[in-house]
Structure 1
Amino acid sequence: MVHQVTRFSDAFSAWENWNLTDFDSKSECLLAFKQALQQVEPELAAVVSYHIEQASALLAETHQLVGPTGETNELYTAGRGVAVVIQDALQQQAKHAVVAQLTAALIAGNTVILCSDDDELSQALESAYVQSSLPTHLAQFVALDAYHQLLDSDVRSLAYVGSHEVEKTINRLLVQRSGAIVSLTSETDLVNIPVAHDPHLALRFITERTRTINITAVGGNATLLELGSETH
């Protein structure tokens, strides 16, 4: 248990810096990860590339909102925190789904702990991660059964690849938790893997935030608050 608590603590510390990193820098780091993965798993590298490209259209830009009293209002996205990805299936399509979820969670600004007994996949991903420019502890790779202990920590997103039956069990575990509501992104159709092909997958791992900046002397454009004038 102590070991998993330490992993979560390391992941949370890494998230605080990663979440403040601008989108272009995150994208560059993940492209380096994709290039390293390309050497051993080109099909999986293509999955990484796809979700970086899709996330760029969704998350890269800050949106300007209306400022009724002269202020600047901005809408932007941020990662939720530590995401746990659970892989409970070993076929090739499951590997694609796992890589899609891992990439979407990372590009959205989260850190990831992958719980899997697929040693071949974990080793390929970890090797590519070490060769890339991704920060330390941003992605961690542990055994499948570690997720039971990790759910006792303050994880903010959960992704699952496997069967409907285990998905239901995980859902019940999430309902019993106290604290923040944890979103669950599941891939249980391991033939068509629709979630892995979803161009909006990154949106399942973000939270929306607004930033208001007063750009006039007293909190806005005071002339817009005028109650009357000589013509009234």
Structure 2
Amino acid sequence: MEEGEDERDAATQAFEGVRGELALLRRAIEGIAARDDRPEPPDYSETLAQITKLATGTYQRAEILRKAGEEEAVARQVAARISGAVAEDRQTVKTAAGELRDATRTLQGVTASVRRAEDQKRWVMLAAIGGIVAGMVLWAVFAGVVARAVPASWQWPERMAARTLAMPMWEGGQHMMRIAAPEAFANIAAGDRIVTANRDALAKCRKQAARMHKAALCTVSVQAEGT
């Protein structure tokens, strides 16, 4: 900034010097004309025209130098401002880059924390599954022992079997008998049907046997198969 002002002052001083020299030259010419005692003083118009032309050219060149100095000073100011703006932008970019790095590190930390949390959840889930499997194995191995160890009135084996079949105890028992001995289960079912169909006759027969204190003959009806 100070260098531009010095150049502008130098150009102004040069311009003022040229102006002073032109004024001094004009006064000198006028003095020469005044001291000339000849009846017809010489015509200096052509000489003055040349001097004026030279002076005008000198003045114009000095003006050009002065303006050039001012323009250069302005250009220096603009360049200085641009340099300052670029420096500010560079600092802004540097600050933004630093903030971006900080945000990236923060995001990486959050990602690592989430990954650790997911790993912990995965381990907990695996441990839970392992515990369930181990419990099932232990229950399968020791369930019978435990069920037989409790009192028979608790009916743990029967309840466990029915729960395993997902059926009531009566239906579960029928299902197990049908699978274990199909023919025997068919006989039991046929006998149950006969008893159900002759319930009244069998009741009278039992009463008669009780009075006679011996076996009594009873008549029952049996339906044909498929009816």
Shared fold, TM over 0.5:
no
**More helix as a share of residues:** 2
Q: Give the greater-gyration-radius structure (CA).
A: 2
If asked which structure has higher relative contact order (CA below 8 Å, sep 6+), I would say 1
- For normalisation by structure 1, the TM-score amounts to 0.22
**More strand as a share of residues:** 1
